[in-house]
Structure 1
Amino acid sequence: MKSNTLEKFFTGKSKIVVENGKLNIKNLKKLRLTVDQLEMRIRNEGINKFDDIKFATIKPNGLLGFELAEDAKPLTIREFKTLMESYGFQPNNNHLSENTQSCSVSIFNEIKGKQKPENPKFK
């Protein structure tokens, strides 16, 4: 669609149902959604408490969109590496076994028929 107004008219727009851990009862009523149904959707996403949600919306297609609060976000590998480096620990790749390191054949070379990977040998 070329017009945002027409697109909103035909498809609808997202409604905020949780904001800073608090339920928006007004929008839940508009969506004809009970708190139990919302809890079920949130639990399906792996979230246990409303307090863990910065905001959550119900999209026009019925899917739940959400952003977690800062304290509830999972730790990423990049953040972990930064944290470890700030304490003076250097990343060490020696923990990889010989079998894992020998399987570094590109799958694209295999698909092109240039290189056949060796099966790893397990002890």
Structure 2
Amino acid sequence: MRTLIEGSGLPADIYSAKCPTRQVLDHIAGKWTVLIVDALADGTMRYTELRKRIDGISQKMLTQTLRQLETDGFLTRTVHPTVPPRVEYTLTDLGHSLRTPIAALRDWIESNINLIEEARRSAAR
């Protein structure tokens, strides 16, 4: 099913920055999104657990990415009324549906990593 430009009935152009499909693709193709979804595939996690699990992510990027994933419906954020508040993140059904393409991409990378590393070494010479 092709995305239509709202109110026009015309098909959206994925190469246009205004295309809703492009906007979602830009978001889910980000390295932090992929890593967060993959980490949450194991189950509910707290913010600090995610930060420890995903090496190299800054507090700012983790917060921004989690907010966008929540806005897009890929995860739920649950705040438990404790002192200090305990916040947990869980994938929704939509978020779990991303696991299949992420796993396929990981499999492809693992199958081709030697060729990629060889190309990088050749380019560095």
Give the TM-score of the pair, scaled to structure 2. 0.27
Give the TM-score of the pair, scaled to structure 1. 0.27
From the CA coordinates, give the structure whose radius of gyration is larger.
1
Higher-helix-fraction structure: 2
